[in-house]
Structure 1
Amino acid sequence: MLDQGALDELFDTLARYIRIRDRATHTTFKTRDGEVESAAFKSLFHLARQPMRSRELAENLNADPSTVSRYVAQLVDLGLVRREADPDDGRATQLVITDDGRARVEAMRAVRRTAMDQAMSDWSDDELRTLVGLLGRFVDAAETVIAPPCAKAGPDSLDALGKGQK
């Protein structure tokens, strides 16, 4: 069994990080065409990796398809995403990031990198890689027990965790 005090410290640290993240996250971004929800911009990071159908994007974001549909409509209206016929199934459409969308992703990445570079200026590259590896391992493990993707929380969810079920 893992050190219970260390686990409590982990949750305290995660809670501190979430508070910092919440302070830094805006609910909307102002654009020349109006306001767009920040969650819509998160979609761009997924689409920058590869085109995908709206349903796949919803799964990647762990979000309701109708919500993602609203995000996509905003991004299409801004010219950051376009809909194209799916090459595997011409009846379906996939979402493709535009050059403007890719430029927006790169700009957002630059802001994040600058902030983290300042925050971690006394870290070595090896320490950063260790953090990334361990944090990824932690998130993968926690996701299977705490919040499996697209799982519906039921009344027995906490009971199952209390009994050590995985």
Structure 2
Amino acid sequence: MTNELPAGLDVDVELTRFVRRVRKRTLRHLAEIHPKLDYGNFTFLLAIVDAPDGIRGSELAEDLGVHKSTASRSIATLERLGLVSRVPDPDDGRAQLLVAEPVAVERIEAYRRTTHERLATMLDDWTPDEITSFARSLTRLNDRAENEF
């Protein structure tokens, strides 16, 4: 298998273009989750929402690839905004877990529904086979990226 990308198609540029568009759209809709939420804290909130049983701050920092102090500042902001709280870790009484408040879960779910609807509209002229192939390719790329980056 060759590691050369197709001539005339710059996958990295196209992925970057798409990520920028998604980020721009996300920035326009952050206030629907909370009027004072910024993009950096949004990424932390998503990770906490996606850990319904809770997550330790140190695990969150590691998962997002940031320094513990960066995670600590974002967590404190999310707590002040009423989107996240701390609960005792049932496996270690000395530790605490971060959990999303119900309002945060509800708003993230609404955001994701809207995003899914928007993506479905963008793909409405694709065949089911094209969508399936694209989804499988993205999954494969993401799985590989987890081990490479």
Structure 2 vs 1, CA of residues 5 and 127 (structure 1 numbering), >3 Å: closer, same or farther?
closer
Which protein has greater RCO, CA pairs closer than 8 Å, 6+ apart?
2
Match of 2:75 among 41, 53, 72: 72
CA contact 2:85–2:98 (8 Å) conserved in 1: yes
> Which residue is equivalent to 2:6?
6
TM-score, normalised to structure 1's length? 0.72
Quick one: which amino acid aligns to residue 90 of structure 1?
A: G
Quick one: which amino acid aligns to residue 6 of structure 1?
A: P
Per the alignment, in what secondary structure is the counterpart of residue 35 of structure 1? coil
By how many angstroms is 1:62 displaced?
Answer: 1.9
Matches of 2:97 and 2:62, distance apart in 1: 14
- Cα distance per residue 1:32-68 (max 9 Å; x no partner): 9852221212223222232100111112222222112
Quick one: which amino acid aligns to residue 131 of structure 2?
A: L
By how many angstroms is 1:110 displaced?
Answer: 2.0
> Which residue is equivalent to 2:137?
134
> Which residue is equivalent to 2:38?
37
Matches of 1:58 and 1:131, distance apart in 2: 30
Give identity over the alignment, percent.
32
CA contact 2:36–2:81 (8 Å) conserved in 1: no
Structure 2 vs 1, CA of residues 5 and 129 (structure 1 numbering), >3 Å: closer, same or farther?
closer
By how many angstroms is 1:31 displaced?
Answer: 7.2
Unmatched runs of 5 consecutive residues or more in structure 1:
148-166
CA contact 1:27–1:37 (8 Å) conserved in 2: no
CA contact 2:33–2:108 (8 Å) conserved in 1: no
Highest CA radius of gyration, 1 or 2? Answer: 1
Structure 2 vs 1, CA of residues 69 and 125 (structure 1 numbering), >3 Å: closer, same or farther?
farther
- The number of residues matched between the two structures is 146
CA RMSD of aligned residues (A): 2.7
Quick one: which amino acid aligns to residue 88 of structure 2?
A: A
Matches of 2:92 and 2:40, distance apart in 1: 28
By how many angstroms is 1:10 displaced?
Answer: 2.0
TM-score, normalised to structure 2's length? 0.79
